């Protein structure tokens, strides 16, 4: 079966699973936040299963022993949808930073709203980072960690973009370390609906990077150096 056909079948699979799962999630709105989150990430597990069975995309993790026992800001390379699905199953409950308008999207947005994201309301008239830090403290107390993609958008495999300081600024504001994560998913599951190819993706978790006593620029450079260096070391999946 060719990669184009595999990608098309997986897109159809995703469409059916997302619509049905979102309806169930909305019905279960009454669940407490963390149990509700864990149920929602069942959708991630289904998509990972579908990617493995339909597209031949598997995953493995190295450095799992570096995952701390206390809350932190997770800074991850962003070159695919795969890393979001995989992290949601691997790590403690995660909250993602999103624009408030995303929550209005049919099915996905409705279910995502129940996953306890941190939302930015740009019409509120105050600094976005202040909004994120304020909600971040609440999410930490509720049992969530905060996931940030420092590049700001998905970057094609084999390329890199300037890292924004948001993850570092947030970690400094909250007084927690940054957990850096690298992977090579973009080679097998690139941005867009097509182009998925079989192989095994590796996700690598680095040692937490302390934020205490550092400014955002220095901390961001440390995050970028480790993630990009590890991405280069991992190379293309086999």
- Give the tens place of pLDDT for each residue, 158-188: 998 999 998 999 999 999 999 999 999 999 9
Number of Cβ atoms within 10 Å of the Cβ of 108: 15
Rg of the chain over Cα atoms, rounded to whole angstroms, equals 18
Q: Is the pLDDT of residue 150 over 90?
A: yes
Q: By mean pLDDT, which of 37-46, 119-128, 155-164 is the weakest?
A: 119-128
Q: How many Å from the N-terminal Cα to the C-terminal Cα in the chain?
A: 19
Instruction: Write down the pTM of the prediction.
Output: 0.91
Q: Which two tokens stand for residue 115?
A: 């996953």
Q: Measuring CA to CA, how many Å separate 49 from each of 11, 59, 66, 86, 169?
A: 13, 10, 26, 11, 35
User: What is the pLDDT at residue 73?
Assistant: 96
Q: Where are the domains of the chain?
A: 3-234
Q: Which residues pair with 32 in a beta bridge?
A: none
Average pLDDT, the chain: 90
- Measured CA to CA, the distance from residue 219 to residue 35 in angstroms comes to 33
- Give the tens place of pLDDT for each residue, 192-213: 777 899 999 999 999 999 999 9
3-234 folds as Glycerol-3-phosphate (1)-acyltransferase (3.40.1130)
């Amino acid at each position: 079966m060719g990669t184009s056909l595999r990608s098309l079948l997986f897109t159809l699979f995703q469409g059916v699973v997302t619509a049905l799962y979102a309806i169930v999630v909305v019905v279960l709105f009454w669940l407490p936040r963390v149990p509700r989150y864990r149920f929602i990430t069942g959708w991630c597990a289904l998509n990972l299963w579908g990617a493995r069975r339909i597209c031949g995309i598997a995953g493995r993790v190295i450095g799992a022993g570096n995952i701390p026992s206390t809350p932190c800001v997770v800074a991850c390379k962003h070159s695919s949808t795969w890393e979001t699905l995989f992290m949601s199953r691997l790590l403690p409950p995660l909250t993602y930073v999103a624009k408030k308008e995303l929550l209005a999207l049919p099915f996905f947005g409705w279910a995502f709203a129940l996953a306890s994201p941190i939302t930015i309301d740009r019409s509120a008239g105050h600094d976005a980072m202040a909004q994120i830090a304020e909600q971040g403290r609440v999410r930490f107390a509720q049992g969530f960690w905060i996931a940030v993609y420092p590049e700001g958008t998905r970057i094609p495999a084999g390329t890199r973009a300037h890292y924004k300081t948001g993850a570092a600024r947030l970690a400094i504001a909250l007084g927690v370390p940054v957990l850096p994560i690298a992977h090579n998913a973009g080679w097998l599951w690139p941005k867009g609906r097509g182009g998925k190819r079989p192989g095994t993706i590796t996700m690598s978790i680095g040692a937490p990077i302390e934020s205490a006593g550092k400014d955002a620029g220095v901390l961001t450079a440390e995050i970028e150096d480790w993630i990009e260096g590890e991405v280069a070391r991992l190379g293309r999946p086999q």
